Amino acid sequence: MQFDYEPVPSRVVFGENSALRLKEEVTALGGNRVLIVCTKNMVGRAKHVIVSLGEMCVGIFDGVEPHCPENIAMSALDMFEKKNADLIVAIGGGSTIGVGKAITLRTDAPFIVVVTTPCGSESTPIHGMLIGNKKKTGRDRKVIAKTSIYDPVLTTSMNAHHTATIGMNSLAHCVEALYAKIRSPISDLMAVEGIKALTAGIPASIATPNDLKAREQVLYGGMLSGHCVTLAGIAIHHKLCHVLGGHHGIPHGESNSVILPYAVAYNETAAPDAMDIIKTVMGTDSASGGIYDFTTKISAPKSLKELGMKEGDLDIAARETVDTTPYNPKQVDIKSVREMLQQAYEGVRPVPL
């Protein structure tokens, strides 16, 4: 056995009402002047958390938008500098974390995330920004949050749709880690544990939104999914989802929900060991089929057509995906990707290509 392993450089604070420990975590990192980054809706949802900082909070940037548009991120950076802040606290999900990453990437300021969705972005080195109509991404370990706080209480207001679609994003991180470029026994362990937690916690959270044990499972799976990305990387699935979000305006959770079964089917013959693990963990005789059935179970979107994708744009998406996918276990070519996208557009049961 031979592999490299570099632990994720982030402190984790996990548990019910753990968000109320934010002030002590800020102090531990030497912060005195905190800029909060969030959406307008989150200001009310997390008011008790923001208030707990007292005078440490010198500003709230509440203009976050999906996919982290460049003008939004730069406006937040401008506020950070004008307020003479020395630490960023992002309260929210992937887009909010993206804005926090944009600031810390350019300032080296410490970065804390109070996680409210199971996206996993807080512990990944991937940063992204919507520039024009293209989602530009990069990797830098300094954008990983210094501290990530996971409080299931803050997730109970997530509706069924968001619980399903954002959960599918995390499930995709775990699944792709099983056939990613730098897969290791450590990333495999986290991927398997993440798949177990997510496939148990997502349906239970949808059925009973205030079930904190179920919400904990989803947050735990989301946390592990972020570690999977950092340790193993991504393949065609997430590159395609970035294309669909950047150029075609499809929300990231929704694109993950639709694409994952088809991306797995695309790689089915090229990564048999990974497929066997997925089948065992999910209790199914088909990796792609099992994921497709799980998507049905949680009522997540199942076709690009229902998400508003135009069939005439599938050729463009296929070309962009091939141009931006540096690694995948199966060779990526326009014809095969276009066939995969056609299946995803129609929402039919996935067929290996």
Note whether 86 and 32 are within 8 A (CB): yes
Over residues 54-77, the mean pLDDT reads 95
In this structure, the answer to whether residues 137 and 193 fall within a common structural domain is no
In this structure, the answer to whether residues 83 and 169 fall within a common structural domain is no
Instruction: Label residue 67 by pLDDT band (50, 70, 90).
Output: confident
111-134 per-position pLDDT tens digit: 999 999 998 999 999 898 989 878
Domain termination residue (choose one: 155, 190, 222): 155
Q: CA-to-CA distance for 40 and 38, rounded, in angstroms?
A: 7
In this structure, the answer to whether residues 78 and 124 fall within a common structural domain is yes
Domain membership of residue 5 (yes or no) is no
**pLDDT beyond 90 at 315:** yes
Domain membership of residue 277 (yes or no) is yes
**pLDDT beyond 90 at 353:** no
> What CATH number has the domain bearing residue 292?
1.20.1090.10
Domain membership of residue 266 (yes or no) is yes
In this structure, the answer to whether residues 151 and 165 fall within a common structural domain is no
Token pair for residue 167? 């959960």
Q: CA-to-CA distance for 321 and 319, rounded, in angstroms?
A: 5
- With 0-12 / 13-18 / 19 or more C-beta atoms within 10 angstroms meaning exposed / middle / buried, residue 188 is buried
**pLDDT beyond 80 at 150:** yes
**Mean pLDDT across the chain:** 95
Token pair for residue 139? 């990797």
**pLDDT beyond 90 at 202:** yes
Over residues 308-316, the mean pLDDT reads 95
> For the sheet containing 111-115, what is the strand order?
11-14, 147-150, 111-115, 87-92, 34-37, 57-61
> Which of the 8 DSSP states describes residue 72?
H
Token pair for residue 187? 């990333």
What phi, psi does 184 have (nearest 5°)? -145, 170
pLDDT of residue 204: 98
In this structure, the answer to whether residues 99 and 56 fall within a common structural domain is yes
pLDDT of residue 278: 98
**pLDDT beyond 90 at 241:** yes
Q: CA-to-CA distance for 95 and 210, rounded, in angstroms?
A: 24
pLDDT of residue 248: 82
Range of 106's domain? 11-155
**pLDDT beyond 90 at 180:** yes
Three-state DSSP class for 136? Answer: strand
Domain membership of residue 267 (yes or no) is yes
Domain membership of residue 288 (yes or no) is yes
**pLDDT beyond 90 at 246:** no
Over residues 193-202, the mean pLDDT reads 98
Residue with tokens 């499930």: 171
In this structure, the answer to whether residues 205 and 56 fall within a common structural domain is no
Which helix (H) or strand (E) segment is 61 a member of? strand 57-61
Q: How many domains does the chain have?
A: 2
Of 14-28, 197-211, 228-242, the one with minimum mean pLDDT is: 228-242
> Which of the 8 DSSP states describes residue 69?
B
Domain membership of residue 252 (yes or no) is yes
In this structure, the answer to whether residues 150 and 219 fall within a common structural domain is no
Over residues 99-108, the mean pLDDT reads 97
47 contact partners, CB below 8 Å, separation of at least 6:
none
> Which of the 8 DSSP states describes residue 79?
H
Domain membership of residue 112 (yes or no) is yes
**Percent over 70 (pLDDT), the chain:** 100
Could you tell me the pTM of the whole model?
0.92
318 contact partners, CB below 8 Å, separation of at least 6:
334, 337, 338, 341
